[in-house]
Amino acid sequence: MTTVDHHLLHASLRDPVLSVPVFHTSVMSRYPDAISFAPGAPNPAFAEHFDATAHVERFLEHLRADEGLSDAAARTALYEYGPGKGLVTGLIAEALRRDFGLATPRGGVVVTVGAQEAMLLLLRALRRDADDLFAAVDPCFIGFSGAARLVDAELVPVAEVDGGLDLDGLARACADARSRGKRVRALYVAPDHANPSGTVLDLATRRRLLDLAEAEDFLLVEDTTYAFTAEPGAALPMLKQLDTTGRVVLLGTFSKIALPGARVGYVVADQPVRRDGATGLLADDLAALKGMISLHTPAVGQAVVGGMLLAHGGSLVELGRPKAELYRRNLRLLLAALEREIVPGDGLPAVTWNRPTGGFFVRMRLPVKADARLMETSASKYGVLWTPMSQFHLAGAGTDEIRLSCSFLTPEEIEEGVRRLADFLRGLGG
C-alpha cells in the first residue's frame, strides 16, 4: 500500500486550527457524562417535533403559486441539479428588504453550504495573489481563519477594544501593507455578539469603520450569524444597512435560526464587477467558483429552510424569534449562575468574565494557562468541558482564557455545569 508523506500535502493540514473540531468531538465522546460548554451549536430542543415534509411541501407550493412552475417542474427542481446561486435567492432578498430595508437584488444573493462556504468563496475570489491581505477582528471565528489558511491568504489581526475594534490599528495595518507593496483587500467582522468574544460594535465605530473602508479601499465582510439574539429594541443597524458606497458583503446562515442540518447559508455580494466591457455582480463570480466546489447547495435543504421562512411570513426576524428567546434565557441563566457560584474568597482563585447581552458565548479569564491538557483535566476530574480561547486568536493572545457556550444546554445542565466549573476552579486555587 502506497504511503503518502504528510509533509507533501498542503501546509494547512498541519495547522492546529484545522484539528480543533475533531479534538473537541473526541474529548466529548470520551467523557459522555461531562457537561459541555464547548459547542456553539443550536439547541436540539427545536428539532423534537420538526416536520421536514411539511416545510418542503410549503416551499413546493411557493414554487407553483409564486414562481409559476408546474407541479412537475417544481418537484424536478428539488431532485435535479439546480441553479448555482440557489433556489431561495428570491425569498432571502425579499426577507432582507422586509426585515432590514435592504434593496438586495435577487441576482446579488448566492445560497451556500453554510456561511463557511461563503467565506471560502470570498477569500478565493478576492485573493488575486500573495500581495492581497485580509484583516480580521482578533479573536476570530476559526471558520474564517481556517478558510484563509486553505487558500494561503495572509491574515492581519485587528484587536478588539472597548466598543468594538482598534480602528487606528487597522489604519496602520493598511499603511504598513502599502509600504510593502501589498494591500488589505477586506476585513472580516461580526459586529453583533461575535463568536467567540460576544463583542458588539457601537454605532460610532460602525460608521467610522465604513468611512475607513472607503478611505483605504477595502471591503467589509459582515458576519450576521448572532445578530438575531439581540435584546428586543436593542439591535443596532447592520453595516450593510449603513453602507452607502457598496463596501459591505453580507454573510448569513439558517443554521442558528432554522435548521443546522440543512447546511444553508448565503452571501449578499451585489458589488458591480467590470469584466470585458460588461458589468456583472460579485455574486456571479462567487457562483462560478461554487460551481467548481459544490455545484449548488442541496435543493432539499433549501426547500426545508425556504418552507420554514414562508411559515414565518417570509421574515428572518420572525423565523429566529423563538430561538432568540431561548438563547437569551440561557445566557441570563449562565451569567446568573456564574455570579452566584463563582465568588472570590470562597476557595476560588480570582477569575473574571465578560457579560455579553446576546450571542452564545461568555469569555472567562483564568489565573493559569488554559490549554488542551487543562481541558482534559477539567473533563476527566470535574465533569465539565469548555473551549480554550487561544485557538481563536491570530496574534498569540488568549492563552489564559476560556469560552463558555450556553446554547446547547438545558437550564438544569447550565446550573450543574457552573457548579462543576466552580469545583474545577477551586482545584486551580489549591
The per-residue pLDDT for 347 is 76
Domain boundary assignment for the chain? 6-47+320-429, 52-318
Cell 467567540 sits on residue: 196
Please give the mean pLDDT across all residues of the chain: 94
User: Nearest to residue 273, comparing CAs of 132, 117, 128, 150?
Assistant: 128
Asked whether the predicted pLDDT for residue 260 surpasses 80, the reply is: yes
Residue by residue, what is the 3-state secondary structure of 390-406?
A: HHHCCCCCCCCEEEEEC
Q: Where are the beta strands (DSSP E) in 8-72?
A: 35-36
Question: What SS3 class is residue 331?
Answer: helix
The per-residue pLDDT for 217 is 97
Which residues, at least 6 apart from 246, have a Cβ–Cβ distance to it below 8 Å? 270, 271, 272
| Mutual angle of helices 411-429 and 316-341, in 10-degree steps | 40
pLDDT (mean) for 240-250: 98
The answer to whether the CB of 398 falls within 8 A of the CB of 424 is no
pLDDT digits (tens, 9 = 90+) for 180-233: 999 999 999 999 999 999 999 999 999 999 999 999 999 999 999 999 999 999
Q: How confident is the model at residue 23 (pLDDT cuts 50, 70, 90)?
A: low
Output the CATH code of domain 6-47+320-429: 3.90.1150.10
Among the listed ranges 127-131, 264-268, 292-296, 341-345, which one has the minimum average pLDDT value?
Answer: 341-345
The per-residue pLDDT for 17 is 75
pLDDT (mean) for 48-68: 94
Among the listed ranges 23-37, 183-197, 245-259, which one has the minimum average pLDDT value?
Answer: 23-37
CATH number for 52-318 (one of 3.40.640.10, 3.90.1150.10, 3.40.50.10470, 1.10.10.10): it is 3.40.640.10
Q: How confident is the model at residue 25 (pLDDT cuts 50, 70, 90)?
A: confident
| Whether pTM exceeds 0.85 | yes
The three cell numbers of residue 236 are 443596532
Asked whether the predicted pLDDT for residue 3 surpasses 80, the reply is: yes
The per-residue pLDDT for 375 is 92
The three cell numbers of residue 56 are 418542503
pLDDT digits (tens, 9 = 90+) for 376-393: 999 999 999 999 999 999
Q: How confident is the model at residue 394 (pLDDT cuts 50, 70, 90)?
A: very high
Which residues, at least 6 apart from 331, have a Cβ–Cβ distance to it below 8 Å? 229, 356, 358, 359, 360, 362, 406
Q: What is the DSSP secondary-structure string of 144-189?
A: HHHHHHHTTPEEEEEEEETTEE-HHHHHHHHHHHHHTT-EEEEEEE
State the Cα–Cα distance between residues 48 and 200, nearest whole angstrom: 32
Asked whether the predicted pLDDT for residue 345 surpasses 80, the reply is: no
pLDDT (mean) for 86-110: 97
Preceding peptide of 260 cis, ω within 30°: no
The per-residue pLDDT for 247 is 98
The per-residue pLDDT for 430 is 54
User: In terms of pLDDT, which residue wins out, 25 or 342?
Assistant: 342
The per-residue pLDDT for 27 is 74
State the Cα–Cα distance between residues 221 and 189, nearest whole angstrom: 6
The answer to whether the CB of 414 falls within 8 A of the CB of 336 is no
pLDDT (mean) for 52-73: 95
pLDDT (mean) for 165-192: 97
Q: How confident is the model at residue 275 (pLDDT cuts 50, 70, 90)?
A: confident
